[in-house]
Amino acid sequence: MEPVRAMHTFIIERVAAVKPNTSHDKRNRTSERSVALIRLGLFTLSALSFIAAIGLLVAAIYLFALDDGDSREAPAVVDLAGNTVDLGIAFPAAEAPADPASPPPLADAGYQLVIEKLGISAPVSTFGLDAELVPEVPYTATDVAWYDFSARPGTGGNAVFAGHVTWSGPAVFYNLDQLQTGDQVQLRDDNGTQLVYEVSSLFQVDPHDPESLKVMWATDRDVMTIITCSGKYFDTSDPVLGGDYTHRLVVRADLLSVNAPASAAGG
């Protein structure tokens, strides 16, 4: 029998078994009944409080188990629209700090990106972010963009470049997918300085995957990252770009050497 019901039955039976004899007995019975009712009320209140506490504990455990694993904030999906590298600004790209005693071997512009294997010798220009915080792209088929929110080449970080694969026909990086690991990419200025990089990896990324932004993040070593379009082309009716590609081709190369002309080295 439940504790509350048993206590209630016990008290009622005990009270009913007492026969009224005198007024004094009646007062005693009244007093006993009051005490019994008070005790019953306190017991019932304690029992209900205990049951309520157990219920709250079970509910809290259930809600915690239901929420476990689902409370992590989902990453924001960045739409990489455009014909080249519209990578948004949701990435912690930062220029790697250069050694103050060692100025960058190349200026921000006025040098060439050279890939002898592919017959590429293209001028590099400095680009940044537009008014909507989207990386700008060249409006020619032959120019290559270096982004000023990435490291300057040869200063110990990730120097990010981009160019078109097509632009009313084949563009500067049309054959970039023919590179292989071990091939060389060079940066040459008019004074004879050369930065020589060796290709370490080539891979495609889905431009709608936020993880693809990591290719533009700062690094703790001297590398070059080249980005161009890849995959299948589809029409977007864009008045300038005309369409887009399903993927991006990324070439990562490690710095091998910085070759300065004798006059510059002597100076």
Residue 93 has pLDDT above 90, yes or no: no
Residue 252 has pLDDT above 90, yes or no: yes
Q: Per-residue pLDDT averaged across 100-104, rounded?
A: 68
**Band of the pLDDT at 34, cuts 50, 70, 90?**
low
> Which of 186, 184, 164 minimizes the C-alpha distance to 175?
164
Q: Per-residue pLDDT averaged across 98-119, rounded?
A: 83
Least confident of 14-23, 44-53, 124-133, 194-203: 14-23
**Band of the pLDDT at 132, cuts 50, 70, 90?**
confident
pLDDT for the residue numbered 264:
53
pLDDT for the residue numbered 86:
39
Distance from C-alpha of 187 to C-alpha of 210, rounded to nearest angstrom: 30
Task: Please list, residue by residue across 97-125, b when 16 or more beta carbons sit within 10 angstroms of its beta carbon and e when fewer do.
Answer: eeeeeeeebbeeeebebbbeebebebebb
pTM (2 decimals)? 0.63
pLDDT for the residue numbered 148:
94
Least confident of 68-77, 122-131, 173-182, 191-200: 68-77
Residue 171 has pLDDT above 70, yes or no: yes
